[in-house]
Structure 1
């Protein structure tokens, strides 16, 4: 059975990688150097003909990789595409500065950065002088505001958009694409459409993009804020809008990258099961009684958000990272304290735990993280982020060690697993509710932590059941979680 699972996982992973790489066929993809500018990638279609330029900007806590589905589809449709890492994001080592809540603060700097990238892209030998912007979420407002000054784009594609800068006739040729499961942003898109025509409905085009006065708002079916980045109908809308604007006829069939990425993640997770069977077998993890379990889950849930609410710290150069470290550390240490008082930490850390935990961390970060960096989002940190990762590990490792022991190395009943991990998510949401203005950015990582629990929590169970030492997975995946969060949050001076 182990060999069969390993074989199927390898086949699924290879098929996914082959399909994802096939989307690059026919394109020249490489770094696009910009003097004193952000790291960028150029997607160049085959042939020598001049083409319109499309500059792509990602959303908050994103990176170039997250926008690659649009970059590949538009480039295959004949456009010269430049995608870049915004200040403070991805591989961009320059931290965000200014007031993130002010139009004259961080927003102004990001608007200037878009223009810098656009000017550099228009100097490319194959650029024909025409320009379009495409941006997601936060970047939708950035590209709309950038359209007010030179170089002025001929068209804008705003995905999951919200911007107070939109008027009845600005910006010209605006396409609004929103996921059907984004209710609030769907209402915002309809409101921006009706600035041009109060009677217009979603799916209707106002004006004519070929004449430079078009506006359209559509919903991508069955997707939300991230899924819209992989939606084939959304990509088709973008291509058709730009083709109508520039008079191009080429069409590119969007590749189902989202499905292949999910299959790749499942394959990598499935591969961990037979690999866990290669670890030395140990005795079953000791049971955690109901009373210590309730103390170790309920007490931190109630105490941590209240105890940390008055604290104000800013040591790590990342938004809310300081608080996140404290929350993880306090939650984990209180859980470990409850376990220690009941004698449940005895024998949990024999010498073999440390090399095995290191092996788990290396596999997760190097192999799985390498796949994520290639196909999903930036996972390779610059030097400035290593300190952030180390700081986050001071919190994530104690928390995940506590979680691994509480869930009995994968042997605990399902209700206990849900209670232990759900309790942490509830405590984090409680912290946001107590300090919304300061901690609202924590809401961004909730889906990341939930996905982490589903995928890596399953893998941790396989390791714990095999070795009888939950701390192996707790330490290894604690380092992985610190790494994932450390490369996700934007740098901020």
Structure 2
């Protein structure tokens, strides 16, 4: 069975990689730098002069997230330009200012976009015309740029929130919102289009006229949320149609469909971990762990979940140059310490049992193997096709700092949910409690922690993928420590490379 799963997983990985690579086979993709801002240019091979579309990512994103739009527009005859904002991705320059005040950071991001756009206008093959596309945080930035530069023919605002839109500015504005996104974003899209529609706007209808720049439309991309909207077929098709209406029809090309191939590839990578786990050394002669009954398990899972956000509510949590990473570090650290305290208390109340021995050398080997698989097997394709995952030097100390929080949490959590008599739903319960704990933290301090809400789907996917791998690691090694160390490493890595660097 392991051999068969390995074959199927290999096939899934290779097919996914092949299809993802084929997506840009007919494109010229080049890297550049504007100042210190990393930039990528997408264009069709041997294409005639064409308009340029500058594409900007959202908060905690990077230019890889915007590849679906970039490749789609390039296949359809445009020159697409993506880049990493200050503090994001591989941009080495941090943001400066208070994220809650906003004006300083907005001005800095707008200046950076202005520099990138000025460079994009001069690209070989540009016909001098320009359009903008931005997601989430960047939707407001591209709107402000287009308002300051009336020669921008069209703007696409994805998951938009921009208080500066007027009935006629920016020119020809398309709003795309995922149908599963929060109602506030759908309502914001309707508000914007209603400025032109006179209060009668409906999704899918175009109001105003392209000739005088007043065209407005709201599109609800079916079945997707805040990140899925960047991979939606509806999003790609509507963006191309809008650009064609503004600039005139271009040579027709396919729209990006990487979502299914990414899902196939990552499913293969997760599945491959099961047959490979059989190669891990046995660490303990018998399954180690807390082996708690439901009553004790519920208590151990719920108490830290409730206590952690309450204890951190009024504490200063701005000590790392990475937005939200410092709070998450403290949340993991305190949560893990409280769970450990409860586990120690329980152990003292239980009758003595035979000590479980294990070999530290084997723990180190198993943990290193699982960590390397998690970071490399997932990280390399993530960095190529999803978001920036390979850290620049400035982010390496942040990984180590955040690991000081993730290590106590995952060691305590893996021990809590493991053991010869562990309950089958223990892992799911403990992760649900962590998510509830983070939700409480956001509710207590929404101005500072609101952006945690948008990463919940990503956290769920990480828990699912790495939770399966840690369970298979436990089955092979009979000890929770290798999986705990590997999960702590990959979560610290993911947080450190994802959230923006900022100097307050």
Counterpart-to-counterpart distance in 2, 1:155 and 1:19: 31
Residues 462-481 of structure 1 correspond to what in structure 2 (within 5 A)?
Answer: 462-481=472-491
The offset of 1:287, in angstroms, is 5.1
Counterpart-to-counterpart distance in 2, 1:349 and 1:297: 29
Q: Is the 1:167–1:195 contact (alpha carbons within 8 Å) kept by the matching residues of 2?
A: yes
Moved over 6 A (4+): none
Matched residue SS, 1:209: coil
Equivalent position to 1:335, from 336, 339, 347: 339
Counterpart-to-counterpart distance in 1, 2:401 and 2:308: 19
2:312 equivalent to 1:308 = yes
Counterpart in 2 of 1:297?
Answer: 301
Matched residue SS, 1:33: strand
Counterpart-to-counterpart distance in 1, 2:20 and 2:259: 10
Equivalent position to 1:285, from 264, 288, 307: 288
2:426 equivalent to 1:416 = yes
Distance 1:210 1:240, change over 3 A: farther
Q: Is the 2:177–2:186 contact (alpha carbons within 8 Å) kept by the matching residues of 1?
A: yes
Gaps of 5+ in 2: none
Counterpart-to-counterpart distance in 1, 2:208 and 2:307: 57
Distance 1:48 1:436, change over 3 A: closer
More displaced stretch, 297-306 vs 252-261: 297-306
Q: Is the 1:115–1:151 contact (alpha carbons within 8 Å) kept by the matching residues of 2?
A: no
Residues 65-464 of structure 1 correspond to what in structure 2 (within 5 A)?
Answer: 65-102=64-101, 104-150=103-149, 152-182=151-181, 183-198=183-198, 199-281=200-282, 282=284, 283-286=286-289, 288-290=291-293, 292-341=296-345, 342=347, 347=357, 350-408=360-418, 412-464=422-474
Q: Is the 2:29–2:42 contact (alpha carbons within 8 Å) kept by the matching residues of 1?
A: yes
Counterpart-to-counterpart distance in 2, 1:38 and 1:309: 36
Counterpart-to-counterpart distance in 2, 1:200 and 1:293: 51
Counterpart-to-counterpart distance in 1, 2:479 and 2:296: 19
Counterpart-to-counterpart distance in 2, 1:157 and 1:186: 15
Counterpart-to-counterpart distance in 2, 1:406 and 1:39: 43
Deviations 1:307-361 (A, max 9, x none): 2222103221011222211110111122223333417995467331112111111
Q: TM-score, normalised by structure 1?
A: 0.95
Q: Is the 1:179–1:224 contact (alpha carbons within 8 Å) kept by the matching residues of 2?
A: yes
Counterpart-to-counterpart distance in 2, 1:296 and 1:268: 32
Deviations 1:120-159 (A, max 9, x none): 0111121111000001111110100111224741110111
Q: Is the 1:409–1:464 contact (alpha carbons within 8 Å) kept by the matching residues of 2?
A: no
Counterpart-to-counterpart distance in 2, 1:447 and 1:48: 38
Q: Is the 2:226–2:454 contact (alpha carbons within 8 Å) kept by the matching residues of 1?
A: no
Counterpart-to-counterpart distance in 2, 1:7 and 1:251: 38
Distance 1:210 1:242, change over 3 A: farther
Counterpart-to-counterpart distance in 2, 1:76 and 1:29: 12
RMSD: 1.9
Q: Is the 1:407–1:416 contact (alpha carbons within 8 Å) kept by the matching residues of 2?
A: yes
Q: Is the 1:33–1:39 contact (alpha carbons within 8 Å) kept by the matching residues of 2?
A: yes
Q: Is the 2:291–2:419 contact (alpha carbons within 8 Å) kept by the matching residues of 1?
A: no
2:50 equivalent to 1:51 = yes
Gaps of 5+ in 1: none
